[in-house]
């Protein structure tokens, strides 16, 4: 797992996120390889008597040996602690999953197959379930997202289901429960989830190359999930936002390079599995062989010394009869010299020749040994030179790789800074445009308000003028009516006076004779 965590970034940079995500298959392969039956070595009883060579990869006196040699009571305590941790981890993850499922509320079917709409949004959209996976969208998704964003969301979640990521998340959750005591497993599961999302993003961006900008904006919009489900493929803030955005800007590798990376990762998976299986302790099987019973050796009587017989050496003797045997040999040699002096001389010549041959053989052996020693020294010196050269080359290669890695990190940092600066600049421009639009709208509203107020004042002035005109007309009409009334009164008074004068004249005319 540590090796994969170290290699995931270079694999993603060279071969793409699909190959980096595929490399995580080494973890279950190695675990399953350790569960296979170990190798069996058959030894006979004679081989068991010989010193055995330790061929397993576990050194003597290691922590694993101390763990195996524990007493049964300690084994029981450790097993109970492990089972308690497994049960606690399972209950905690089940409660998290259950709480997320209940937080979604009632699910409503949509017109699309396998797609549901939740009542609440605890962190949607999500592809949830193992045996019956479902895609759950947030409530009112058609109003929250544009048609293009909705299509990208569905494609992302369907890609998770097509790649069987729900099964992968289930296996990772199982490993988290079993290896609850190992923090490396939890860290590796988090990194695997990141590679899973990056691989799915690469599939979606490859399928919709013209909507990459909309997809990046969709990732920014969906980074607001308040909860996380253990067994689900979810859009949430727990995934690396910067890494996903930068992955969209990176050019995907060619098909040939991606195929080469998959082949290399496949061979590495086979190699990891074989090494994990071969690293198991070998099972020894003893083969019993049936041998004939030992027969007691019967003593051989001594052979008498005869003349004209060359004695090549002393007969076997016990420590108690050593002096007697020596005396017998010397007596036999003196008798042989007295009986056949020529044979003795021939024997001496043969002995001298054999001694010379042995001396020449020893000289040749010494010369060969010296030559071999010299060749070994030269080979050792050559190996030392090669090793020093290889060490220097490795140091140079390591320095070059470190410089290249530093350059890549610097370039990535510069790219990230440029992307962040561009994003900040774009956000500032967008905010500035929005502010300008708001100021323009406010100015237009102010102008409209001033025009309305001016129209209202004009209307009020018109009303007051109309009121004044009406009041003046009414006063004139009253004055005219009063004038007419006065004139009518005057006419009536004149008429009355005229009538009274007539009446007076008539009375005066009547009274005169």
DSSP sequence for 386-435: HHHHHHHHHHHHHHHHHHHHHHHHHHHHHHHHHHHHHHHHHHHHHHHHHH
For 106-144, what is each residue's pLDDT tens digit? 999 988 888 999 998 887 888 998 888 999 998 888 888
> How many CA atoms within 13 Å lie on the side-chain side of 300?
6
Cα–Cα dist 176/168, whole Å: 12
pLDDT band with cut points at 50, 70 and 90 for residue 320: very low
* pTM, full prediction: 0.53
Query: Residue 28: which of 197, 188, 218, 144 has the closest Cα?
Result: 188
User: CA geometry: angle at 28 spanning 258 and 238, to 5°?
Assistant: 75
256: left (phi over 0), alpha (psi -120 to 50) or beta: alpha
Average pLDDT over residues 239-267: 82
pLDDT value of residue 440:
87
Long-range contacts of residues 61-67, Cβ cutoff 8 Å, at least 24 apart:
none
pLDDT band with cut points at 50, 70 and 90 for residue 66: low
Average pLDDT over residues 207-228: 76
Give yes or no for residue 20 having a pLDDT over 70: yes
How many residues belong to the chain? 513
pLDDT band with cut points at 50, 70 and 90 for residue 236: low
pLDDT value of residue 94:
92
Cα–Cα dist 245/212, whole Å: 10
């Amino acid at each position: 797992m540590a090796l994969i965590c170290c290699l995931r970034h270079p694999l993603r940079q060279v071969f793409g996120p699909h190959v980096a995500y595929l490399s995580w298959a080494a973890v279950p392969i190695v675990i399953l390889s350790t569960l296979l039956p170990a190798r069996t070595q058959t030894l006979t009883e004679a081989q068991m008597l010989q010193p055995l060579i330790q061929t397993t990869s576990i050194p003597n006196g290691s922590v694993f040996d101390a763990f195996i040699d524990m007493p049964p009571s300690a084994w029981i305590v450790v097993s109970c602690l492990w089972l308690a941790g497994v049960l606690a981890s399972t209950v905690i993850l089940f409660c998290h999953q259950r709480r997320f499922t209940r937080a979604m509320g009632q699910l409503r079917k949509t017109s699309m197959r396998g797609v549901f709409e939740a009542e609440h949004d605890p962190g949607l959209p999500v592809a949830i379930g193992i045996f019956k996976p479902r895609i759950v969208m947030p409530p009112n998704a058609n109003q929250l997202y544009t048609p293009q964003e909705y299509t990208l969301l569905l494609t992302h979640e369907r890609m998770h289901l097509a790649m069987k990521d729900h099964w992968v998340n289930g296996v990772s959750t199982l490993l988290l429960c079993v290896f609850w005591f190992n923090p490396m497993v939890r860290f590796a599961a988090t990194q695997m989830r990141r590679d899973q999302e990056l691989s799915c993003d690469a599939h979606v961006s490859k399928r919709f190359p013209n909507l990459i900008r909309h997809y990046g904006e969709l990732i920014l919009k969906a980074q607001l999930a308040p909860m996380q489900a253990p067994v689900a493929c979810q859009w949430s803030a727990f995934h690396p936002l910067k890494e996903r955005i930068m992955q969209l800007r990176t050019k995907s590798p060619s098909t040939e390079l991606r195929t080469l990376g998959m082949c290399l990762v496949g061979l590495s998976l086979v190699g990891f599995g074989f090494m994990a299986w071969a690293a198991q302790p070998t099972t020894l099987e003893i083969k019993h062989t049936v041998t004939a019973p030992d027969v007691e050796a019967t003593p051989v009587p001594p052979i008498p010394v005869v003349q004209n017989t060359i004695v090549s050496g002393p007969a076997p003797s016990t420590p108690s009869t050593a002096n007697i045997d020596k005396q017998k040999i010397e007596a036999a040699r003196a008798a042989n010299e007295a009986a056949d002096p020529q044979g003795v001389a021939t024997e001496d010549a043969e002995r001298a020749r054999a001694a010379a041959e042995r001396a020449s053989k020893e000289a040749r052996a010494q010369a060969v040994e010296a030559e071999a020693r010299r060749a070994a020294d030269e080979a050792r010196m050559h190996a030392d030179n090669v090793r020093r050269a290889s060490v220097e080359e490795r140091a140079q290669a390591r320095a070059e790789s470190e410089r290249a890695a530093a350059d890549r990190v610097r370039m990535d940092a510069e790219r990230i800074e440029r992307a962040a600066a561009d994003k900040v600049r774009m956000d500032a421009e967008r905010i500035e445009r929005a502010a300008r639009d708001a100021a323009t709208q406010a100015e237009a509203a102010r102008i409209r308000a001033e025009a309305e107020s001016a129209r209202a004042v004009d209307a009020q002035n018109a009303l007051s003028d109309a009121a004044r005109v009406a009041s003046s007309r009414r006063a004139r009409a009253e004055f005219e009516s009063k004038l007419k009334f006065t004139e009518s009164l005057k006419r009536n008074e004149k008429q009355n006076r005229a009538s009274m004068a007539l009446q007076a004249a008539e009375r005066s005319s009547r009274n005169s004779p």
